[in-house]
Amino acid sequence: MSGPLHGALLAGLRELNLELEPRQQEQLLAYLALLQQWNRVYNLTAVRDPGEMLSHHLLDSLAAVAPLRTKLQGRGSAAGLRLLDVGSGGGLPGVVFAICLPELEVTCVDAVAKKAAFIRQAAGALKLPNLHALHGRVEALEGRFDVVCSRAFASLADFAALSRHLLATGSGVWLAMKGKHPQDEIDALPAQVGVFHVEPLQVPQLQAQRCLVWMRTAP
C-alpha cells in the first residue's frame, strides 16, 4: 500500500491525531477506489478527482471520528450501539464510521436505490459485517438508534423532524455535520430539540469551515 493517496491519507490521519490499523487504512483507500469506479456510471458524487475525493469526502468524514468515538466511550463501550446515517449518498460518513469503529453497528439509508446498492457492495467488498444499507425514506423507517447522523442532508429542523422517531428513547442523540456554525438553523429548531454542543472541526487539506452539531430531545 503506497502512492500519493496513501501518503495524503497518512498525513491527514497524523494531523487529526487519529490512529488506525493498516487494515483500516487499506479499507479506506479501497472504499475510495470503489467510489471512483461506481461514480463513472452512477454519479454518486460531483467530486471526480481522487485527491479531492480524499480531502472533501474521506478526511472530512474522518474529522468526525474522534468526537464520535469520545461520545460513544461515554457509554462505556460502542459494542452493540447502533448508528443511522441519514441520506448517506455514497456512504459518507457512514462507511467511514463503519471502518474506523468496527464495534459499532452502522446503517446507511438513502432514498436512491443505486446509492443503497453501492453501500451494500462496499460492505461486501470491504468485509464490513457491521455496515448495513437500506433503500427508503427516513420518515418511513422503523427501529431505534443510539446516534442518528447526517452530512449535508437537510436543515437541522427538518433532519430532527424526519428522524426523531428513530432516536433511542432517553439516550439517543443527533449528530449533524455542517459547514460554518449554523446559528440560523439552530435558532429555527423547535423547543423539543436542544443543541448541547457545537464542535468546530479542522479538516486537513481542506480550507473550509466545518463543525459538528450535537442535539437531543429536550426534557
Buried b (16+ CB within 10 A) or exposed e, 92-128: bbbbbbbbbbbebbbbbbbeeeebbebbeebbeebeb
8 A C-beta contact, residue 179 and residue 210: yes
**Which class for 140: exposed (0-12), middle (13-18), buried (19 or more C-beta within 10 A)?**
exposed
Residue 11 lies in a domain: no
Q: What is the mean pLDDT of residues 34-57?
A: 77
List, for residues 94-114, the tens digit of each pLDDT value: 999 999 999 999 999 999 999
Q: CA 213, CA 155: separation in Å to the nearest integer?
A: 11
Q: What is the mean pLDDT of residues 194-212?
A: 92
Evaluate if residue 2 carries a pLDDT over 60: no
Enclosing domain of residue 73? 60-217
Q: How confident is the model at residue 19 (pLDDT cuts 50, 70, 90)?
A: very high
Residue 4 lies in a domain: no
Evaluate if residue 76 carries a pLDDT over 80: no
Q: What is the mean pLDDT of residues 30-34?
A: 94
Q: How confident is the model at residue 128 (pLDDT cuts 50, 70, 90)?
A: very high
Q: CA 195, CA 1: separation in Å to the nearest integer?
A: 41
Residue 95 lies in a domain: yes
Element (H, E) at 33: helix 22-42
Q: How confident is the model at residue 188 (pLDDT cuts 50, 70, 90)?
A: very high
Residue 13 lies in a domain: no
Model confidence pTM above 0.75 = yes
In the block, cell 493517496 appears at 5
Residue 66 lies in a domain: yes
Q: What is the mean pLDDT of residues 132-161?
A: 95
Residue 5 lies in a domain: no
Provide the grid cell at 123: 460492505
Evaluate if residue 129 carries a pLDDT over 90: yes
Residue 107 lies in a domain: yes
Domain count, the chain: 1
What was the pLDDT predicted at 1? 54
CATH number for 87: 3.40.50.150
